[in-house]
Amino acid sequence: MKPVKVGVLGLGTVGGGVVNVLTRNAKEISRRAGRKILVTHASARNLTQERICDTQGIELTTNSLDIINDPEIDIILELIGGTTLAKNLILQAIENGKHIVTANKALIALHGNEIFAKASEKGVMVLFEAAVAGGIPIIKAIREGLSGNQIEWLAGIINGTGNFILTEMRDKGRDFSEVLAEAQVLGYAEADPTFDVEGIDAGHKLAILASLAFGIPLQFEKVFTEGISNISRADVEYAEELGYRIKHLGIARKTEQGIELRVHPTLIPERRLIANVDGVMNAVLVQGDAVGPTLYYGAGAGAEPTASAVISDVVDVVRVLTGDPEHRVPHLAFQEDAISDIPVLTSEQIQTAYYLRLTAEDKPGVLAEVTRILSNHNISIEALIQKEPLEGKTVVPVIMLTQTTLEKEMNAAIIEIEALSTITGSISRIRLETLG
């Protein structure tokens, strides 16, 4: 049987990693796929720059359309990133009847509904395992391995940059700004780190995971996102003292009222396995009604971990190239006519527990007033710690853990508490999940 020809759009870190792994493991991959897989063409902005892969035998071009319009190429690997150019190239490739493998989470989160509809119309596949959590096969796990379950919720550390920063803050007692600067030097964070530290990158990934888990359309615009830039060293230390760790989590939960989609710093018990995922590593915890909790852990980025996920998709495409399109695994796990428009809840409709840190005057009656306000909003206190007065001052840090409550009530209570003359500055609020 003749080899399957692959065209790669983008020969950067991931593209180079794909070529290296396909070359090094060619024999093993062909044994699994049933046919040889050859990268015959690749596009890059600069054809002369030094690369991490050997491009001998690959026809290089600066024009991606040369590859997309080549009738000999069976599969297109979109590894250029971004959304505008990538979207146009993918839609044209689909129009030409080519199967697509992409690592582009923003593209799938923002335009996946349109892309999948076009792919179904043309009878081609669009696979995107590498778009979420790098080398961890979480897409395949939810779409196929857990297909006998009703997914109840999932929670993931799905951005390595944020996890590295919080790990360093905890282990070495460093401030956010200092660790962020180091992450940029190490290449973990971009010069503009907004997408990573403010939760946008994780929000893209969570929108994808939620669609696969619950059979809903991709709806990134409804994901609540909150970053880690306001997490202080004190919060990290107090969380540890209380038996918790702070992680930047993406959480999707199905409730009777609708779907929760949220990315934010979260206190989780230190005994949970996911609480011990450190550095730039990723992990996703999925709760199914039949299987119970399952945890998926591994490298969330990097040339070869991401290449591993890309190539697994290529192998899947090759295995079913001659198969009936109607019998393929659906793009978003559920059959297209079974995608349901379950409502996505607003942030005020979310129910969770909270960690609160406030600075209060050290005199009688202050905490009583605070607890009265919380009680008026149906918020119960689980634990309360009053620290020693700050050096040279008459104010004390107070840390509270609450029971589960409605975010709308917590928002209103915080406004009232911050308005008290005996409370200094803003209240630090971090959501708390037991993940039990």
Q: Which token pair is 40?
A: 């015959």
Contacting residues for 272 by C-beta, under 8 A, at least 6 apart: 435
Contacting residues for 322 by C-beta, under 8 A, at least 6 apart: none
Q: Out of 98, 205, 222, 254, which one is annotated catalytic?
A: 205
DSSP assignment, residue 30?
Answer: H
Report the SS3 class of residue 265.
Answer: strand
Report the SS3 class of residue 303.
Answer: helix
Q: Does 205 participate in catalysis according to the annotation?
A: yes
- Contact (Cβ atoms closer than 8 angstroms) between residue 101 and residue 77: yes
Nearest alpha carbon to residue 70 among 38, 101, 96, 35:
96
- Contact (Cβ atoms closer than 8 angstroms) between residue 61 and residue 11: no
Contacting residues for 34 by C-beta, under 8 A, at least 6 apart: 1, 318, 319
- Helical segments of 242-299, H only: none
Nearest alpha carbon to residue 266 among 163, 413, 161:
163
Report the SS3 class of residue 321.
Answer: coil
Nearest alpha carbon to residue 78 among 50, 117, 119:
119
- Contact (Cβ atoms closer than 8 angstroms) between residue 420 and residue 370: yes
Looking only at the bridges linking them, the beta strands covering 37-43 and 59-61 are parallel
Kindly tell me the burial class for residue 92, based on how many C-beta atoms sit within 10 Å of its own C-beta (0-12, 13-18, 19 or more). middle
Nearest alpha carbon to residue 123 among 351, 336, 292, 297:
336
The residues assigned a catalytic role are: 205
